[in-house]
């Protein structure tokens, strides 16, 4: 029981740096009606860890087992899934599934080599059950590590778990246990590497950003990754947008789009230059790449950005011009009216003088 408690603490509190959680998949013990213990096999490398850290060989086959416990007074149905570890847009490694995809350089996807014997398992009330997975390693050997995760969710908890944030965006809260799986065949050290492939305008949560796609093509983690960006007009030195972030982590053979936020500013059509510096594991990478923001793309994103304030300058000028025109017309009318009045008075006075003169002559 002590071993089980320690294992659960490691899973829930994420003591190990291997086990991390995404923003959308939060492990909360209070919301779960079951608990999990990993049954560590003989080829477990680190016996003090609660995740699977296995030394394997090409074409090796074995079965991995998770013990489920249900201390409630009703049966619990648990749904399990296997995922390859990826990196999300926050620079966090996810083990429980994500929209992100692994890089094509990956030796093998975890979903292809680790298969669930049963996707759904019923854990009886006040009882236990097991989740078993068949591991079949690829024939071709590889250096480095393969990393993935086994996610376990209560079936009933998958329904009606949506909230809405302050801006009306839907947030799905999925409560799950995510157990990491790390597979290693050799002890050959892999040098860290990083690439930048694509730079393009995009949006995150209806906010304008410029994404720089970073690729970790090696079968190793990039830990304590820091990224600094500077975006300028092509050929100019003045930074229009900047970004800096530290303490990120990239999964082996993964990609992620690092965003530089525009902070409420509109996209302006034109050609720009991305200047990006990244550091991890004692190495530094520097990338520069030109990219274009097209007029139609800029307009489409600007119309959708909830933080962009509409520019009504033209309307203000139009209203001001109309008011000025009205004032000028009123002034002209007043001057002409006054001139006509003076002219009428002058004519009247002239007529009176002439009449008076004629009277004196008579």
Tokens matching residue 14: 């994420």
**Would 82 be classed as within a structural domain?**
yes
Looking up residue 71, the CATH number of its domain turns out to be: 2.60.40.10
Q: Identify whether residues 59 and 131 lie together within a single domain.
A: yes
Q: Identify whether residues 156 and 13 lie together within a single domain.
A: yes
C-alpha distance from residue 110 to each of 171, 236, 303 (Å): 27, 45, 40
Q: Identify whether residues 234 and 170 lie together within a single domain.
A: no
**Would 326 be classed as within a structural domain?**
no
pLDDT tens figures, 222-260: 999 999 999 999 999 999 999 999 999 999 999 999 999
Instruction: Select from 223, 228, 193, 199 the least CA-distant residue to 212.
Output: 199
Q: Is pTM, for the whole model, over 0.85?
A: no
Q: Identify whether residues 216 and 178 lie together within a single domain.
A: no
9-18, 196-205, 322-331: segment of lowest average pLDDT:
9-18
**Would 306 be classed as within a structural domain?**
yes
Q: Identify whether residues 136 and 261 lie together within a single domain.
A: no
Q: Which strands sit side by side in the sheet containing 239-250, from one edge to the other?
A: 239-250, 222-233, 270-280, 283-293
Rounded Cα gap, residues 199 and 257, in angstroms:
9
As for how many domains the chain has, the answer is 2
Q: Is the pLDDT higher at 255 or at 307?
A: 255
The DSSP output letter for 102 is B
């Amino acid at each position: 029981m002590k071993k089980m408690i320690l294992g659960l603490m490691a899973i829930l509190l994420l003591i190990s740096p291997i086990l991390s959680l995404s923003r959308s998949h939060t492990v909360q013990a209070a919301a779960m009606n079951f608990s999990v213990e990993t049954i560590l096999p003989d080829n477990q490398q680190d016996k003090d860890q609660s995740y699977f850290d296995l030394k394997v060989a090409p074409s090796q086959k074995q079965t991995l087992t998770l013990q489920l416990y249900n201390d409630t007074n009703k049966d619990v149905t648990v749904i399990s899934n296997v995922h390859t570890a990826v990196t999300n847009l926050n620079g966090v490694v996810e083990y429980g599934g994500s929209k992100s995809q692994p890089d094509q350089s990956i030796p093998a996807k975890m979903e292809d080599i680790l298969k669930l014997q049963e996707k759904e398992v019923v854990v009886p009330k006040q009882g236990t059950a097991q989740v078993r997975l068949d591991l079949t390693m690829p024939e071709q050997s590889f250096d480095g590590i393969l990393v993935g995760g086994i996610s376990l969710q209560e079936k009933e908890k998958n329904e009606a778990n949506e909230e809405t944030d302050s801006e009306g965006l839907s947030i799905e809260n999925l409560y799950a246990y995510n157990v990491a799986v790390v597979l290693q065949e050799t002890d050959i050290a892999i040098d860290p590497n990083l690439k930048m492939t694509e730079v393009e305008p995009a949006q995150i949560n209806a906010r304008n950003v410029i994404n720089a796609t970073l690729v970790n093509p090696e079968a190793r983690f990039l830990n304590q990754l820091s990224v600094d960006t500077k975006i300028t007009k092509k050929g100019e030195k003045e930074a229009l947008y900047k970004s800096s972030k530290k303490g990120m982590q990239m999964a082996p053979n993964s990609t992620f789009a690092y965003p530089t936020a525009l902070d409420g500013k509109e996209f302006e059509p034109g050609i720009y230059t991305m200047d990006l510096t990244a550091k991890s594991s004692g190495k530094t990478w520097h990338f520069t790449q030109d990219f274009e923001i097209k007029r139609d793309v800029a307009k489409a994103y600007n119309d959708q950005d909830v933080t962009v304030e509409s520019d009504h300058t033209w309307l203000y000028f139009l209203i001001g011009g109309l008011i000025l025109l009205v004032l000028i017309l009123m002034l002209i009318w007043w001057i002409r009216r006054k001139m006509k009045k003076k002219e009428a008075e002058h004519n009247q006075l002239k007529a009176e003088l002439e009449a008076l003169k004629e009277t004196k002559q008579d």
